Amino acid sequence: MIPDPQGTILALFVAFCRIGGCIMVLPGFSSGRIPVQIRLLLAVALSMAVLPLLWSTIYPAVANGGASYIGLIFTETVIGLMYGMMARIYTLGLQFAGTVISMLIGFNAPAGADIIDDSSETSLTSLISFCGLMILFILDFHHYVLQALVDSYSVIPFGGHIDPRSALISITDTLSTTFFIMLRLSSPFLLYGMMFQISIGFINKLAPQIPIYFISTPYLLMGGLFMLYLSIAAMINQFSGAFLTVFNGH
């Protein structure tokens, strides 16, 4: 029998705010392909699983309710969103790298429905982003995120005030690190595209009577796809290996 049902429900809801805020934007779980009811029930189940671990931290602060409870709902949701957004930004970086690669190798096919989100992406970008997300799930990245959420109660004390400066620094550092990692992953294709276009420009100057740009597109695409075939395994491997560096670094 629960001695204090009201206090238990209040504590569970506050735990749900931080867990649910993270699940709302966490890669994979926030996909438009997953029904909202499943995401809601998953967040509730995780909150019920985590609450006993944090009972001594949450329950004494919310047992009496009061006006401060509204502030706790807001701050806990923002903290969960911040942790989820750091993982979300990293996966969006791979989607950005896939778009850059598609442009550089001349894969300008009409955009179609994305596998993960309700957006339009080329099939090559969808393939790269889906492979990266699948590898992260195989390596149990969501376990690290949930562990970080539990540890966040010691990093950001429950009931304390959010430091906007620290939160902004964490987000900007994640953006900066993600950008350089994705630049490194797509750098071979940047060099390939630049060298190919410069070479075609020189050939066009030497033989202006030949429509070299129309002839060169199939060769650009063929070389880019062959290069992607040779490098996609190493690209996804480096992407998954750098996840903990980005996430645990903040």
DSSP 54-88: GHHHHHHHHTT--THHHHHHHHHHHHHHHHHHHHH
Q: Would you say 108 and 102 are in contact if contact means Cβ atoms under 8 Å apart?
A: yes
Q: Would you say 106 and 224 are in contact if contact means Cβ atoms under 8 Å apart?
A: yes
Q: How far is CA 78 from the centre of its chain?
A: 17
DSSP string, 162-182: --HHHHHHHHHHHHHHHHHHH
Report the pLDDT value the prediction gives residue 1, as an integer from 0 to 100: 46
Give the 3-state secondary structure percentages of the chain, helix then strand then coil, rounded to 5.
80, 0, 20
The DSSP call for residue 209 is T
b/e map 109-124, b = 16+ CB within 10 Å: eeeeebebbeeebbbb
Report the pLDDT value the prediction gives residue 75, as an integer from 0 to 100: 84
Strand partners, 121: 112
CA-derived radius of gyration, the chain: 23
| In the chain, where the domains are located | 5-248
Ranges of the chain with pLDDT below 50: 1
Report the pLDDT value the prediction gives residue 65, as an integer from 0 to 100: 65
pLDDT digits (tens, 9 = 90+) for 103-133: 888 887 776 667 777 677 778 888 888 888 8
Report the pLDDT value the prediction gives residue 25, as an integer from 0 to 100: 87
- What is the reported pTM? 0.81
How far is the C-alpha of 224 from the C-alpha of 79, rounded, in Å?
42
Decide: residue 212, CB within 10 A, 0-12 exposed, 13-18 middle, 19+ buried: middle
